[in-house]
Amino acid sequence: MNFQQIFGNLPETEASAPGRVNLLGEHTDYNDGFVLPIAIPQKTTVQMGFSNDGQHHFYSQNLDQQVSILEINHTPLGFASYIFGCIQILKKEGYKIPSLNLYIKSSVPIGSGLSSSAALEVATLRAIRQLLNLSINDVEIAQFAQQAEINYAGVQCGIMDQMASSLADTEHILFLDTRTLSFCLLPFPSKAEIVVIDSGVPRRLASSGYNQRRTECEQAAQLLGVKALRDITRLEATEDLPEPLRRRARHVVTENNRVLEVLQILETRHVASVERFGKLMNASHASLRDDYEVSVPALDMLVEILQETPGVFGARLTGAGFGGACVALVAKGEGRAIATTVLEQYNYHSGYTGRVLVPTTGF
């Protein structure tokens, strides 16, 4: 069913936002650190119009589910919480938001670590900006989206996902300093492309160890006497922390250093950039597995198969972990063949049914 069939009229406006895959810089954003995401082809589209009955109405095409709420209602559950949160944040910022009809459709996989929630938030805020002609820039959209997810969906997320959905494209790597929000778009290595494979192991951030990891990092920073772990650059400083805080801090420090090394490589376009980038991705996965403990056996298996496949420079889990997807940097032009080979091996040995998300066609 389309917007007109659901709401009885045509939409007034439409806006989209992409999902993202994070190439390097995992669990560093809420530590005021550095990240390197890139947008993926999959996106979420929001069609929007005015509601005439004083209620908001949200319809998800993917779920075939409609939610209707009054302004005085408590935050709804599920997909509607992200939309309701965006509206409430705008109202707290002083914007007058009328009752709205929203129709949502998305090709961003849910539960794969590719920021389906951020894509929904950013697409919603973009549509409201267009509909009401609001003077909100793309960085503010990301900030409002993050506040919506924290305050209304209950996920203590950093700002990487929302900034990537709001600012990134599929041709460049976004370097973001999550403390200052300074950013730049860097050229993707000409010798490479990415492969993203969903492990088939779903994850739910709000019910996973994500919030626990954030608390552990805050505790480590407090013991070290700094605002955030971003302020620690030398591993020696973490050695006297109690476990597991020492390992959590060690991941954040080394991960930030890996991002900064890739930034330098990409800025100088060093000839060995792809090979070194790949090795740093491999090191990132090992750190996420051993120090941050957010991997699971299926993700480790998928990463290992990728890393052992000819033409793969490096691979790692992407997103918060606890399931979801893996990303690999592979030789240009070989992505489809590599993805086919790896998926066949993984599905056979893991007991899960994975799927290729990037490249997006032919599977």
**Count of CA atoms in the C-beta half-sphere (13 A) of 326:** 38
**Count of CA atoms in the C-beta half-sphere (13 A) of 58:** 24
Question: 3-state SS string over the chain?
Answer: CCHHHHHCCCCCEEEEEEEEEEEECCCCHHHCCEEEEEEEEEEEEEEEEECCCCCEEEEECCCCEEEEECCCCCCCCCHHHHHHHHHHHHHHCCCCCCCEEEEEEECCCCCCCCCHHHHHHHHHHHHHHHHHCCCCCHHHHHHHHHHHHHHHCCCCCCCHHHHHHHHCCCCEEEEEECCCCCEEEEECCCCEEEEEEECCCCCCHHHCCHHHHHHHHHHHHHHHCCCCHHHCCCHHHHCCCCCCHHHHHHHHHHHHHHHHHHHHHHHHCCCCHHHHHHHHHHHHHHHHHHCCCCCCHHHHHHHHHHHCCCCEEEEEEECCCCCCEEEEEEECCCHHHHHHHHHHHHHHHHCCCCEEEECCCCC
**Contact 21/256 with Cβ under 8 angstroms?**
no
Active site residue 169: no
C-alpha 112/C-alpha 321 separation (Å) is 9
Name the catalytic one among 29, 32, 161, 291.
161
User: Which residues have a catalytic role annotated?
Assistant: 161
